[in-house]
Amino acid sequence: MQKALDQLTTYLTPLDLSDWRYYAEVGSTNDIALDWARDGAEDFSLVLADTQSAGRGRENRRWVTQPGAALAMSLILRPGQAERGFIPRFTALPALALIEVLEKIGVEAQLKWPNDVLITGKKVAGVLVEADWQADQLVALVVGMGVNVSPESVPSADVLRYPATCIESELGVEVDRWAILASILHTLKRGREILPTEDFINVWNNSLAFKGDWVNFRFSDGQPRQAQVSSVQADGRLSLRMPDGDYLDVVAGEIEWSGPDGQQD
């Protein structure tokens, strides 16, 4: 534990985090971060864990983090006045940061709307944003992210809902996960500067997975239908072109990739 703390101190000190906490093992970093936010943690405070046994994804799916194999992080952000009209963009913020970091080390990645990072069509990371409300006022966001770094972080195929991979398998060499973490946070901080602007949506659309492809899209009612992925709108909704040629903007749902012949891959 002390060795990890020393390494993290070296990497995180230059980032001007308000504060950070590291745990050897937790249930969920998001739960700890939400409690910390309610206790007054400042903007840009970070929770990290080596092992996470009850991490959450969308729709309460579990995200388990094996020791030494992945990144499990939750970042506390307190949106400023200029950011409050763009809350859906905070889900893409860490994902786009990771995509930029991966690009710099020679790995091409894309953002599967709304919250998964893919490499060669396989999931390498997921994001879950949760909010702290006081009465009807949003006072903090907890931006949780899990990143598969080494092969040990990838669950067995029989428990996966979607194909998965890790950074090391795609890159072909070992990587320093704390260096990846520091790069993500540094890039995220820069990306936040453009979050309220059109440039942010342009970056998102440039990294959008399956753009122009026909997919099975599972709507919020649980029904899958064929649709063509078009673009992300300014409010974070995904624009889909339906078989009749009409466009439909959705706020919830899930992309299930299929090939040009409409057959599930």
Q: Which of 3, 44, 10, 9 is nearest to 24 (CA)?
A: 3
Q: Is the pLDDT of residue 206 over 50?
A: yes
pLDDT in tens, 97-141: 999 999 999 999 999 999 999 999 999 999 999 999 988 889 999
3-state secondary structure 233-250: CCCCCEEEECCCCCEEEE
Q: Is the pLDDT of residue 239 over 90?
A: yes
At residue 251, φ and ψ (nearest 5 deg) are -105, -15
Pairing verdict, β 19-26 and 45-56: parallel
Confidence of residue 55 (pLDDT cuts 50, 70, 90): low
Determine contact, residues 134/233, Cβ cutoff 8 Å: no
Domains of the chain, first to last = 2-206 (3.30.930.10), 214-257 (2.30.30.100)
Determine contact, residues 123/164, Cβ cutoff 8 Å: yes
Confidence of residue 157 (pLDDT cuts 50, 70, 90): confident
Q: Is the pLDDT of residue 60 over 60?
A: no
Confidence of residue 265 (pLDDT cuts 50, 70, 90): very low
Question: Reduced to 3 states, what is the DSSP secondary structure of residue 50?
Answer: strand
Q: pTM here?
A: 0.92
Q: What is the pLDDT of residue 196?
A: 98
